[in-house]
Amino acid sequence: MLVEFLRAARRAGIAVSVAESIEAFSAVDLIGYEDRQTVKDALRLVIAKSDEERERFDECFERFFGIGNFESGADGLFDATLETSPVELLELLDSELARLLLDDDRAELVRRLHAAAAEIDLASVRLFTQTNQFARRILEAMGIEALDAAIARLRGSGEGEAQRLADFLELRRRAVAELARDLVERRLAASGGGEADRMHDEFLQDARLVNVDRRDLLRMRVLVRAIGRRLASRYGRTRTKAKRGHLDVRRTIRRSYSFDGVPFRTHWKRRKIEKPRIVLLCDVSGSCAPLAHFLLLFAYSLSEAFSDIRSFAFATSMIEVSEILETQTIDDAISQIMRTIGFQSSDYGRAFATFDQDFMDSIDRKTTVVVLGDGRTNYHDPRIDVMRRIYERSRRVVWLNPEHRVAWGMDDSEMLRYLPYTHVARVCNRLRHLEAVVTELVKSR
């Protein structure tokens, strides 16, 4: 039963390793099955590794070990009792299941039910349409056919006593069938949910940012932030590398003079690793509006991940939004930015001119400039010269364009003219793109 639960947990999106499965077994061995809450606590301690997984675990556990597994459920179906037990008729009952039903040993019945479920590999149930099929197979594994035959024999013998016994068995049979069905349904609920969620997540990663449904926004946001966090930890790792290194022989010897030539204090070579300095220019104009939300969302998670980042938003004009992104909650930040300058028509020329005047200082040799925008200037002067200056001053210029490459340079898109002054230009309209680009950003330093 535990094996099946672990499988269900895995399917619910909790990563359970083999080692953890063994661990789970020894934990349950230790504490026994008596107390449901204790079993739950123990399994949760062993299996669930994060808040999210704890949540999923609770859900999965409740579904899987519904009350029925610990007490025999199927309300009322077992209430009917038989007053007399006609001993002579029992010989007709050539069925173990029938005897079990007459004995009224519910615990044993439930145990059998689970054994049968394990036998037919109930954990592989995936679809609701399979419910009947699996319930049927469980019953077969429990020996329902012999029971049916026994009932038929009773009916055939024709006596009143035998008829009553047959009626009673019919009733019990229905109860067992109900239990089996219930079990399948619960198992299905426990294992099906996670899979669907994961598929949905994958779909979202691949969906074009513009097309994502409003109700998926929340989910999307979680994904974006997860990317941000992953980047943050990856980035943290490269930074600490600076501390490792080789022995700096010259310095060690130089230092040793004060200790009478004994290399008392060692000196290690240090690799200097620069923090990535990022300047983010984000187009929030009308043409980019559906995307702007995500670009800002992303800018927001970036500013959580990197310490040295300045963000600017532009449409007709350009403003610095670093502070808004840093101090406010994500919703407030985005809505405030959109209120201030969003939805205007874009004028890259003017925006760049503003940048040239006021913020050019923020770019130096170490800066990576990331531009998020479609490069559509509404036929204004694109101010390629500013772009070139940015290109010359900075370490790298990365342009992320939500439009497909084919559309670059068509109509008012000046993308092709900006292109020479970027180090990398990418199409970026899916979450996957976003992640790939930023990973590259972090790595190539």
Partner 1 sequence: MSETVRPDTGSIEAVEAGLIGANYICNRQTATAIYLARNLRKPVLVEGPAGVGKTELARATAHYLDLPLIRMQCYEGLDESKALYEWKYGKQLLYTQILKDTYGASLRGIESISEALEKIGDFDDVFFSEQFLEARPLLAALRQENGAVLLVDEIDKSDQEFEAFLLEILSDFQVTIPEIGTISATVPPLVVLTSNDSRDLGDALKRRCLHLHIGYPDAKLEERIIEVRVPGVEGRLRAQIVAFVQKLRTFELKKLPSVSETIDWARALVLLHVTSLDADAVRDTLNVLLKYESDIESMKKHVNSILAAVN
Q: Which is nearer to partner 1, 248 or 381 (CB)?
A: 248
Which of 174, 198, 208, 237 is in the footprint of partner 1 by CB under 8 A? 237
Q: Which is nearer to partner 1, 224 or 279 (CB)?
A: 224
CB of 68 to partner 1, least distance (A): 24
Q: Are 241 and 317 in contact (CB under 8 A)?
A: no
| SS3 state at 325 | helix
- Of 333-362, binders to partner 1 (CB under 8 A) are none
Other residues' Cβ atoms within 10 Å of the Cβ of residue 174: 12
- Classify each residue of 300-332 as buried b or exposed e, where b means 16 or more C-beta atoms within 10 Å of its C-beta: bbbbbbbeebbbbbbbbebbebbebbeeeebee
CB of 185 to partner 1, least distance (A): 29
Written as six digits, the tokens of 300 are 């927001």
Q: Which is nearer to partner 1, 30 or 218 (CB)?
A: 30
Q: Which residues sit opposite 282 in a β-bridge? A: 313, 372
Phi, psi (5° rounding) for residue 433?
-60, -45
DSSP 8-state code for residue 431: H
How far, in Å, are 82, 94, 177 from residue 161 at the CA level? 11, 17, 24
- Of 239-298, binders to partner 1 (CB under 8 A) are 240, 243-244, 262, 264
Q: Which is nearer to partner 1, 201 or 414 (CB)?
A: 201
Which of 36, 126, 174, 229 is in the footprint of partner 1 by CB under 8 A? 229
CB of 397 to partner 1, least distance (A): 30
Q: Which is nearer to partner 1, 49 or 271 (CB)?
A: 49
CB of 181 to partner 1, least distance (A): 34
Which of 230, 393, 417, 426 is in the footprint of partner 1 by CB under 8 A? 230
Q: Give all strands of the β-sheet with 318-320 in edge-to-edge order.
A: 318-320, 309-314, 277-283, 367-372, 396-401, 424-427
Written as six digits, the tokens of 359 are 């913020």
Closest residue by Cα to residue 390 from 352, 427, 358: 352
Which of 232, 289, 330, 442 is in the footprint of partner 1 by CB under 8 A? 232
Q: Which stretch binds partner 1 (CB under 8 A): 150-158, 204-212, 232-240, 427-435?
A: 232-240
CB of 377 to partner 1, least distance (A): 41
CB of 278 to partner 1, least distance (A): 20
CB of 267 to partner 1, least distance (A): 14
**In sequence order, which residues have a C-beta less than 8 Å from that of residue 5 and are 6 or more positions away?**
43, 60, 61, 64, 65
- Of 15-74, binders to partner 1 (CB under 8 A) are 15, 17, 19-20, 23, 26-27, 30-31, 37-38, 41-42, 44-46, 48-49, 51, 54
221 touches partner 1 (CB under 8 A): no
Number of residues that bind partner 1 (CB under 8 A): 31
DSSP 8-state code for residue 419: G
Closest residue by Cα to residue 422 from 387, 386, 380: 387
Closest residue by Cα to residue 212 from 346, 222, 305: 222
Question: Helix, strand, coil: what percent of the chain each, to 5?
Answer: 65, 10, 25
CB of 27 to partner 1, least distance (A): 6
Binding site for partner 1 (CB under 8 A): 15, 17, 19-20, 23, 26-27, 30-31, 37-38, 41-42, 44-46, 48-49, 51, 54, 229-230, 232-233, 236-237, 240, 243-244, 262, 264
